[in-house]
Structure formats: structure tokens, C-alpha cells
Structure 1
Amino acid sequence: MSLTRRDFAFALLAYALAAIMVGTTLPTPLYALYSERMHFSVLTTTVIYATYAGGVLFALLVFGRWSDAIGRRPVLLAGTVFALASAVVFLVADSVPLLLVGRVLSGLSAGIFTGTATAAIIEAAPPSWRTRAPAVATIANIGGLGSGPVLAGILAQHAPSPLTLTFFVHIGMVVLAAIAVLLVPETSSRTGKLGLQRLSVPPEVRPVFVIAALAAFAGFTVTGLFTSVAPSMLTTIIGIGDHALAGVIAGSIFGASAVAQIFGTRIEPRRAVAIGCAILTAGMGILVVALHYSSLAGLIAAAVVSGIGQGISFSRGLAAVAELTPAQRRAEVSSTYFVVAYIAISIPVIGEGFAAQAWGLRTGGTVFAVAVGVLALVCLGAILWQESRTKSGRSTYADAG
């Protein structure tokens, strides 16, 4: 592949990943419009949102190894088909079951696309970009996630027929993504085998994995909160019914996460996870205060601070686990890590929906924030305890010597 063609493929694949990920968060500021039209509660909103994770997990486990066996391009094209199907379902959706179908299809597109596109971007990177290719994939992924609610929020606030126009726009983006995939050459050597993705963690990795996975669970729980019920918080608690602002708040957590992941690479993994947990705890403290005082500035600050904590703890937690994992088992360990993360954006968020229905959105959100903050503190305490034991062991060894 010539350098010019490689540059071309690298950029096209990055665009395709971003375009697909836009669709996964696009409905966030639109849930309020759907709830007005279909008369459903915050609990139903969280269930609709959470079904996305089910699609991701199914795709991750069933199709996770396919691109190694049949090539990146066929799998990426399948991802664009699911993304198009999701957008079409949202275009015609007039009931909650159809919204659920749309979200499952969106999850399938993301689950198929994310890992495969990341691998393809790294493989297609020109020599001068080789070391920065993972960062480019991260920016494309999370940048797409963050752009989705911003785009939909602006259209919902300022454009006519946002429940149709928004998805027509995304259909156009996905068609361009499919063309991009068709234009790039195959980057895989097709040496893998078809089969279900195995999930396991070697015994020697488990102490670090448990802490890293709990930190990832806490962080993804927060992203689930902001991309499902933050618009309802803005309207019900803060008293502002601005869809564009709701989209910006939901998108800001992903923007902060992306920046944190890029700059967090300079921090030693275990220390970074500890720092991320501490920042995430602070973010939850800010959210509690924001909900109590109905503060817009506090809600925005909570999203940004929590995004920083989530980004650092998640990316560096994966790095900490990878450091200890044998190369031939990294795929299954990484997949296990992602399964934990995607469970975190589904089940806890539904719990928040039940809490909001029982106690009100303010009290439910406060209880949710306190629970996540406590979990992050437990992770921080476990890391500090592990480090103290390690230092104590080294000191004992030195004294014996």
C-alpha cells in the first residue's frame, strides 16, 4: 500500500468509526420528545437506553473474533448495515417496542464496529502515525459518542421535525461511512477462526483485574447516567428545557473522557486508576451538591469532572491489566473487561429509573451518585492497600537481605 493510499485509508476508517458511534448517543436529548409523544416515564427511558448495552454485549461475544477470520471490511460493512437499520427504525418509531428495537440494533452496530475499526485504524496507520494510531482511534470513538447528543440537541432545539431530521442526517453519515469502508483496502491477514469470544481472567491477573474492573464499572455507570437521564435532570430539577444544552451536558462527559485518556497515558497505570477513582468520587460529590441546589453549573461540572475520572480509570485500568496478561490471552481478558463496562451502563441505570419512580428524580439521582462515589472510594482504598502491602513486602525483603 502506498503512503498516500495508507494515509487515505487511515483517515477514512477514523471517520467511519466516529460516524457509527455518533448514532449510539444520538437519541439522548430526544428521549424527552419521545416521552412527551408516547407518555412514558424516566424508568422507561432508562430501559430504552440500557437495551443498547444488550446489543453491544451480544455482538462482542458472538462476532468479536470474526474480523480476524474473514477480514475487517466485511465486519465493518455489517456494522454499517445495523447502524442504518437502527436509524430507519427510529425514523418510523411510534411506540416503545420500536424504540427498544432501534437501540438494540444500535448496540449491535457499535459492538461489531468498535473493536474491528480500532484494529483496522492501527493496521492502516502510516509509519509516522503508528504510535499515535490508538489515540486516533480513541478520539474517533469517544469523539463520536460525544458529538451524538450535541448534534441531536441542536437539531431538537432549533430545527423542524427533529425526530426525523436527526436520523436522516445520521443515515447520510452512515452511507458515507459505508463508502469509506468500501474504498479502503483490507488490513487483516485473516488468520483467526470463527467462534464465540471466550471470557476469562488468569489467576495471576485477577487481583489487579478486579480493582480495575470495579473502577471501570463505576465510571461507565456514570456515563450511563448522563446519557440517559441527564436531560430529565436538566428539565425537572434545574428547570431548563433546552434540548441543545441537554445534548452539550451529555456530550461533555465523553469529551472530558477522551482528553483524559489521551493525557493519562503518561501516568503509571495503577497510579492512574487511583487518581481516576479519586476524581470520579469528586465528580459524584459535585453531582450531589448540584442536585440539592438545582445548579446548572454544578451539573455541567459534575459531567466534566466525572468524565475525566472515568477516562483515566478506564483506559489505564485496561493498561494495568494488559501489563500482567500473557499476549495470547489478552483478547479474552480485554473482552471480559469490556463486558463488565457495558453491564455498568445498563443495569445500574435501570436501577436509577426505579429509584426516580419511587423517590423522585432528585433523591434517586442523589442515592445513585452516593453509591457510585462509595464504589470509587472502595477501589481507591483497595489500590492504596495493595501498594502498602507491596511496599511492606519489599521492605521486609530488604531487611532480610
Structure 2
Amino acid sequence: MFSQHTLFSRFGIVIQSISLFLVFATANATVPLYPEWQHKIGFSHVGISVIFIAYHIGVIFALLTFRKATQPQTIKKLLLVGLGSAMLAAIGFASANIIEWLVISRMFVGIASGIFASLGVAQILRIGNYLNVSYTPLLVTVATVLGFGVGPLYSGITADLSTHHLLIIFGLFFGAMLICSLLIVTASSDGVAASSATQPPAPVNLAKALMVTGMFAGPFALSGLFLSLGPSMISRLMDNDSRALAGTIPFLLFGFGVCVQFVLKKLSYRRMVIYSQLLSYAGAIVIIAAESLHSLVLMMLSALLIGSGQSLSQLAGLTMIKLWRPLGTLEKSSGFLFFGGYAVAACSIMMLGEVSAHFGLMSATIVFLLICLSIMTIAFARFIQDTARNSACSL
């Protein structure tokens, strides 16, 4: 029944986008469960940071290892490897009783995320280019951002309502990814090679790749704060360990970001960049205020601001990647974009855990924000400079 379908079609775009969503939803469904695991297994904020870093190690490994794949059959097999890794992680999360098991599971789902962030995203953008589907950058961004938001909300609500929540949460993801795997296995990859032939490699421009990645990496790392230490921060601010509440904050962050994307989707990528950077700056300032005043309202406001900034920066980044392919191909360019985001997030979150253990969470948060904002500022300044130069040349 499925053999009539091909990955090189609108069906292929849809099934690969759903797979992309499921992988990121599985990866982030763990967010509201950290306080529970922390209490049951027994580990500190540094332990949470280690678990978070393990995910980024898996992502970076996959981005560096698989981003050069170009043959349709190879990409198809690697997408199946990604889904398989995510399914193994789901089994691990459902049965974890030691921190090492959580670390290994996070690394597996990180590998899955890295494969889909590079090959999956590039495949969707390429097919969209060839079929003249203009909305693929928006579709890819919505799929990933919704995964970041829906995963924690679903797991948090389920955890508060059911005593067997781990089996229910990760069993559903396992089943859905298994269905996607079967659809991809039985679909033909005919025609994908044709799109590569019509799009020869673009000239390599490393400076442009670094600029685009820097403007995305800062907001991406800021959103990582809510996915790593967010639940613990909320629990402390409210003296409430509700897992549904812990899952609501990431959902607000990324769900609001999706809404902003749809409202502003017709903006030029230049305006998207400007708005994304300003929203991220504002969100960082509000985080400091929320920590200083122990205000949940301000914490939620910062989540909305940073979620909007992150979502717009990702949409703008993917739009520029699709237009310029600054590293020659879509695989290398999109892989580098997400590599930069995950690398900055991993290093800054690891630093956050270490500094907070010695100097407290407030001091660590300030240093973390300074790192993220510095990277954003350098890249954004280069973007403004390039935009001004291009405007002057066109006069």
C-alpha cells in the first residue's frame, strides 16, 4: 500500500516533517521529568547539566559525521538510523533507574536530533526547492519548535495524571516513530537525486555561514536554559513541583514562538533577524529581573520573549540557508547552523552548571547570558554591516 509513495513528493515532505517533530518531541519530553528523576535517582544541578550535555554530544557527533551524505539511498538509511536511535532512547527513558542510563538515552536521542537537524532539514528544503514549495523553511521551523514545546507539555500533564506515566509518554512516541519508520522504509527515494543535479554547489562563504549561525546560536542557547534548569527554577520560584507546570513553561516558550512565526511569516528575512535579536535581548534582561525578584510572572514573560526570538531566528536562519547555501550544499549549511546552535548551548549550559555549583544560580545565569548575548551581538553587527554595504551598492 505504501510502495506507491515516494519521499521525493509532498508526501515525503509531510512524513519527514512529522518524523522531525517526533524526534524533537521525544528529546524534550524529558524536561519536566528531571525533578522526579533527580529525587528518585539522586543527582544535583551538575547532574542535570551532564545529562543535558550528553544530548548535545550526540547531536554534534551526528552533525559532524553524517552531514556530508548526499546519495538518496544513504540519506534514507540515515533517517531510519535517526528514528531507530530515538526509539532506543524512548525505551531508555521509560526504564531509567540510574543517571548513567539517562545519559546514554540522551546521547541516543541527540544522535537522532543531529541526523534530522542536518539531513532531514536539508532533504525537506531540497525537495521544497525542486517542487517549488516556498513554505518549507516555515514548515521545518514549526516542526522543530513544536517538538520542543509539545513534548514537555504532554509529558508534564501525563506525569501528573498517571502513575505509569513513563511507559505512556515514551510508549506513544515509540509507536508513532515506528509508524514513520515503516512509511519511510516502504517509500521510494526515486527522484531525490534529480533535485541535486539541478542545484550545483554554491560558492563557499565561511564568514556568511558564521554570521547566520551566530545570530541563531545565541537565541537557541537562551531557550536551552528553560529546557535544562527551567523546571528546577520554576519549582523554586513557586515552591511547587508540579510536572505539568514544568512542562507548560517550555510549551509557552515554543508555542508562542510558533504563533509569532505564522504572524510574521511574510516579513523579509532581514526584518526577521532584527526582531529576533531584539526579542532575545529583551528576554535576557527579563530573566535577570525574574531571578532577582523571584517572580514567576516575569519568568513566563522572559519565556515568551526568548521563544519568539529563538523561533524567528531559526526561521530567518533557514531562509538564508535556503537562499545562499553558504557552505556549498544544503546538508553542510543546515548542519553547520544547528552545529553552532548546539555547540554554544552545550558549552554555555555546562558552564552554567559549574558556576552555579560554586557561586550560585544568579551569578551563573548572568555569565551565561553575557556569553549568549556576546555571540549574538558580534554576528548581528556583521549582519547590519553587510546589509548596509549591500544597500549602498544597490544605490
For normalisation by structure 1, the TM-score amounts to 0.84
Give, in angstroms, the shift of residue 76 of structure 1: 2.3
Partner SS state of residue 188, structure 2: coil
Structure 1 residues 219-253: Cα deviation after superposition (integer angstroms, max 9, x where no partner): 11112111111001001234232211111112222
How many equivalent pairs are there?
386
**CA separation in 1, counterparts of 2:131 and 2:72?**
28
Q: Which residues of 2 match residues 190-201 of structure 1 at below 5 A?
A: 190=193
Contact 1:278/1:377 (<8 A) preserved? no
**CA separation in 2, counterparts of 1:165 and 1:276?**
36
1:178 pairs, out of 170, 174, 181, with: 181
Equivalent position of 1:220 in the other structure: 220
Contact 1:290/1:298 (<8 A) preserved? yes
2:152 pairs, out of 149, 153, 175, with: 149
Partner SS state of residue 299, structure 2: helix
Contact 1:212/1:313 (<8 A) preserved? no
Give, in angstroms, the shift of residue 153 of structure 1: 0.7
Percent identity of paired positions between Structure 1 and Structure 2? 22
Query: Per the alignment, do residues 49 and 201 of structure 1 end up closer, same or farther by CA in structure 2, a change over 3 Å counting?
Result: farther
Structure 1 residues 286-335: Cα deviation after superposition (integer angstroms, max 9, x where no partner): 11111111111211111111111122223324544664556844543433
Verify: 1:31 aligned to 2:34, yes or no: yes
Comparing 38-47 with 265-274, which one deviates more in the overlay?
265-274
Verify: 1:268 aligned to 2:268, yes or no: yes
Equivalent position of 2:105 in the other structure: 102
1:163 pairs, out of 163, 166, 179, with: 166
Partner SS state of residue 227, structure 1: helix
Give, in angstroms, the shift of residue 174 of structure 1: 1.9
Contact 2:26/2:151 (<8 A) preserved? yes
Contact 2:210/2:379 (<8 A) preserved? no
Question: RMSD in angstroms over aligned alpha carbons?
Answer: 3.3
Equivalent position of 1:13 in the other structure: 16
Amino acid at match of 2:341: A
Greater radius of gyration (CA): 1
Segments of structure 2 that go 5 or more residues without pairing to the other structure are 197-201
Query: Per the alignment, do residues 327 and 377 of structure 1 end up closer, same or farther by CA in structure 2, a change over 3 Å counting?
Result: closer
Give, in angstroms, the shift of residue 284 of structure 1: 0.6
Structure 1 residues 351-384: Cα deviation after superposition (integer angstroms, max 9, x where no partner): 1111221222244224433543454445444544
**CA separation in 2, counterparts of 1:60 and 1:284?**
28
**CA separation in 2, counterparts of 1:211 and 1:128?**
29
Partner SS state of residue 71, structure 2: helix
Equivalent position of 1:306 in the other structure: 306
Contact 1:280/1:376 (<8 A) preserved? no
Structure 1 residues 75-113: Cα deviation after superposition (integer angstroms, max 9, x where no partner): 222222111111112223221111111011001112223
Segments of structure 1 that go 5 or more residues without pairing to the other structure are 194-199
Q: Which residues of 2 match residues 2-401 of structure 1 at below 5 A?
A: 9-66=12-69, 68-121=71-124, 130-187=133-190, 189-190=192-193, 202-203=204-205, 206=207, 208-320=208-320, 323-325=323-325, 328-385=328-385, 387=387
Equivalent position of 2:199 in the other structure: none
Partner SS state of residue 228, structure 2: coil
For normalisation by structure 2, the TM-score amounts to 0.85
Query: Per the alignment, do residues 212 and 11 of structure 1 end up closer, same or farther by CA in structure 2, a change over 3 Å counting?
Result: closer
Partner SS state of residue 346, structure 1: helix
**CA separation in 1, counterparts of 2:115 and 2:46?**
28
Query: Per the alignment, do residues 131 and 91 of structure 1 end up closer, same or farther by CA in structure 2, a change over 3 Å counting?
Result: same
Amino acid at match of 1:180: L
Query: Per the alignment, do residues 358 and 92 of structure 1 end up closer, same or farther by CA in structure 2, a change over 3 Å counting?
Result: same
Query: Per the alignment, do residues 269 and 239 of structure 1 end up closer, same or farther by CA in structure 2, a change over 3 Å counting?
Result: same
